Structure 1
């Protein structure tokens, strides 16, 4: 049994969602979407520039080795996500969601600055890729805390009847960041020569991304905090948030990570690996591939709020279940058609269909995560589950897809990998409770798993 000194009491941790007016909720949506969209712009442009960065920072390897090392360094950023989720999630539960989200803004901008101004391998040798890896680690640490804090804030400003809609803006903002990143990189690729792109053009998106710090700070300064702890409780010693999550909610954590496998693998293969796949394996131009990536971002941004509203009506688990079954059925025929007819039109159709399935499963999934935990450790629980799941199965999905394709010699290998991960992820749903329409603070009031 925990003492009042080890954990805030129900009276000291107030529920902001019940007091949030519609105007406040709209302000929260706008501020969180813009800030989180900027975060994901910074984090994802690296993936869109994989082929260019590989040539500049890993020139001593073959073209396959360059690509493999570049997507591996993309995945390295995800190694730090669990640590970032744990540290920043605990900070969000202790100091508030706003402060945590401000911290992630500056860390992401720092990572962007390092990438933007690092000399290439030709100038400083092996130090160049090492600095790039360091920058990706910083960005991964930041992203690990951002998703947990921002999603928790959105959920806590919602009512039981619209939590799916509110949380959907987390994924919508990711789509916005991906779309903007693809448009910027695609525009540079189309307008610049190969020499100019490799000389300085690839740095432009990271310089733009550095603007995240002042813009994000201004936007998030006007957010309404959803966690309010009495001054005397803030000074009192507290039991570790991570310890509470792991010891009292361990079963939920494991089930949620397993459930996350399907969505996060699909997201990183469809959104980040497919542009590289389209260029390298299908022979399409970089501009076409990046337009396809922009399309996936646009679909995520436009469709996520509608799916969020739908999940508030039909429930989270049914929507996740049937969308994953549909996605598992469609993945292989989509890849088969794309390889048989590698045209821009087919690429856009396949990406569009897969993106709809991705949104339909991810939005209710990302809503379920913070719903599972009590308010005092909600950001920590959400951050831990999401960052570990994404680190293990999302960030290295492009790497695994690239390796499988080379090892098997089959251009359909990524499809089989996606199908397998999608089906495995259904097992976790068995142990998760659907909190749709319920008061999560009453359901989870300091209850052990």
Structure 2
């Protein structure tokens, strides 16, 4: 049975020898590249689907009701998250026994296969309902891959870091921001510089083709890395899944609650272009520019938040961010509904981006510190993916449905505030019960 108290501190290091520390830092920088290129690519595949949800809904889920088509597209987006816990269990368990590198290679390979299916999928106009089935299978594969990616890549980064654990872990979030930025760029240029006919016939496939071409590069870089010193220096757990649920169950469920706001913050930002176009009647260029703002803030700001978290503690920084979200969530959406302009949208995405980054960037460090090395990828994968699946993955579907049935355009703000309250309580538990700072 794995002892929960074996979880290491967030920012400590036992490396004191100069040359050894310098080599560890060099390896840590290489680990950032290896983890980031795969992590960013996998998140790009996930985010770009939501970015082109309106087009995909029309091509693969056509109905007489546009809202129904959009709900079906977002349902296929959400269904993929059902596979995340399974991917987290199988790939996380595999990485705890065979190594972080092995798990990372599996996740990027499965994501490549899912993306290939989307690139090649005929539309409903060609093969009817089978088109929707192909997209669903592709999304399930991508969900399975993404389920194993966070835990293995985060453990890989944290275990290579000789110090500044939060800073190194924040690159997981920075690459997600970069993926959002890149998806937003594709959305902006393709929607504004292609005709509707070109966009629907071939243009929407371009970002997925881009991901398909980059995938082998990420696999190659990862294949050349050595496994982490912490993994190579320990005896693997014989039952990581049991040890996670039984010996570390309190830590696991606390982390599910902590993850909730990080997940919802990202997926509300992903939902915003659809919300702006469909519900507020804004032009597409404004909607996608706002996504770019969010992506820039997250990709550029995450390392700085990571440094702050190393100085004052990840849990403290996340407490500040959750409190800010709790106070500002509803007023921001009131403002947007009163003034649905490009400048208002950009300003709101800027505020949401800062809050989301301040909360999400320290998350890999606090999660890694909560689980001992023998079960770290399993614990990370399960805690993260259960939280993402329950609270974030179906957020676009839930928000679209609630707006449609209630008629209230403030639903996203209320949902964000409710999740912020839940996560704030979970952070308090991590601080007071599990001594996270």
> What corresponds to 1:245 in structure 2?
244
Equivalent of residue 395 in structure 2, options 394, 397, 402: 397
Q: Is the CA contact 1:186–1:291 (under 8 Å) kept in the aligned structure 2?
A: yes
Equivalent residue, structure 2, for 1:189: 191
- Gap runs ≥5 in structure 2: none
SS at match of 2:253: helix
Contact 2:190 2:199 survives alignment (8 Å)? yes
Aligned to 2:261: 262
The structural deviation recorded for 1:31 is 2.4
Q: How does 1:381-392 map to 2 (within 5 A)?
A: 381-392=379-390
Deviations 1:138-182 (A, max 9, x none): 0000000001101111111123x4011010000001111111111
Per-residue CA deviations over 1:272-320 (Å, capped at 9, x if unaligned) read 1001101111212223212211221111010000000101111122211
Cα distance in 1 for partners of 2:217, 2:187 equals 21
* CA–CA distance in structure 2, aligned partners of residues 210 and 30 of structure 1: 19
Is 369-378 or 27-36 further displaced after alignment?
A: 27-36
1:366 CA drift (Å) = 2.6
Q: Which has the higher helix share?
A: 2
Query: What's the offset of the Cα at 1:185?
Result: 2.4
Q: Measure, in 2, the Cα distance between the counterparts of 1:131 and 1:61.
A: 21
- Does the C-alpha gap of structure 1 residues 230 and 305 become closer, same or farther in structure 2, counting only changes over 3 Å? closer
Query: 1:174-220 CA deviation, whole Å, 9 max, x = no partner?
Result: 11111111112221111110011011111111111112331112221
- How far, CA to CA, are the matches of 2:234 and 2:436 in structure 1? 32
Offset, 1:17: 8.2
Q: Which runs of 5+ in 1 are unaligned?
A: 3-8, 437-449
Q: 2:150 aligns with which of 147, 164, 169?
A: 147
Residues 384 and 61 (structure 1), Cα distance of their counterparts in 2 relative to 1, 3 Å cut: farther
Distance 1:426 1:233 in 2: 35
Question: Aligned pair in 2 of structure 1 residues 356, 127: CA closer, same or farther (>3 Å)?
Answer: same
In 1, Cα distance between equivalents of 2:13 and 2:224: 15
Find the aligned partners of 2:362 and 2:234 in 1 and give their Cα distance: 37
Residue of structure 1 equivalent to 2:339: 341
Bigger shift: residues 364-373 or 192-201? 364-373
User: For residues 19-418 of structure 1, what are the structure 2 equivalents within 5 Å?
Assistant: 21-159=24-162, 161-226=163-228, 239-270=238-269, 272-418=270-416
Partner-residue secondary structure (3-state), 1:284 = coil
* Structure 2 CA distance for partners of 1:25 and 1:229, relative to 1, 3 Å: closer
For residues 436 and 38 of structure 2, the distance between their equivalents in structure 1, rounded to whole angstroms, comes to 27
Q: How far, CA to CA, are the matches of 1:118 and 1:368 in structure 2?
A: 40
Q: Determine the structure 1 residue equivalent to 2:424.
A: 426
Give the TM-score normalised by the residue count of structure 2.
0.92
Deviations 1:317-352 (A, max 9, x none): 221112111111111111111111111111000000
| SS state at 2:362 partner | helix
Question: Number of paired residues?
Answer: 422
- Post-superposition shift, 1:404? 1.2
TM-score norm. by structure 1 comes to: 0.90
Deviation at 1:231, TM superposition (A): 11
Mean Cα deviation higher: 103-112 or 130-139: 103-112
Decide which moves more: 251-260 or 380-389. 251-260
Tell me if structure 2 keeps the 8 A contact 1:288–1:344: yes
* Closer, same or farther: CA 179–232 of 1 in aligned 2, 3 Å: closer
| C-alpha spacing 1:430/1:124, structure 2 compared with 1 (3 Å) | same
Alpha-carbon distance, 1:221 to partner: 2.6
